[in-house]
Amino acid sequence: MIEKLNNTDKIKFNILGKSFELEVLTQRAFLDFNVGDAIPLNNKELDELNWLINSKILDTLEKELLDYCNQNYKKMGESEIPEIYPEINFKQLYILTDNRIAVLGECNSDFEHGISVKFNNREFCGIGQNADWI
């Protein structure tokens, strides 16, 4: 359980058996302070972060991630991929002020917009481009 963390700190996070170093960002820090300031996460933000880590919910979404990438490839007339890695490289975890949290990263099927896995009120609610929720 993470008890202290600052905005922009990095944490190790396992997703579908692969370890990532994710930069933790909060909407509150971007709204109330200078971008990049090392602002401590508040209790609500820490609760959301710990829920995401402990729930292991990301480990249940392999099919959804693969489907999302293959839909993008289909739109481009490209062949489908059989496995999610090395297709996706997760980079950030973004905690918003209204009970939303997203894991963002790079995605070969949409390198311009990236990929985000989104949760609202601790429920999975979709996969989309990084800009969809930020």
pLDDT one-digit tens code per residue, 53-92 = 999 999 999 999 999 999 999 999 999 999 999 999 999 9
Residue 34 has pLDDT above 70, yes or no: no
pTM of the prediction? 0.90
- In terms of pLDDT, which residue wins out, 60 or 133? 60
| CB within 8 Å of 109: residues ≥ 6 apart | 68, 69, 70, 72, 73, 76, 78, 81, 87
Other CB atoms within 10 A of residue 88 CB: 24
Amino acid present at 32: D
- Which sequence spans correspond to the domains of the chain? 10-132
Beta-carbon-side half-sphere exposure of residue 55 (alpha carbons within 13 Å): 14
Contact criterion met (CB below 8 Å) for 57 and 65: no
Q: Coil, strand, or helix at residue 120?
A: strand
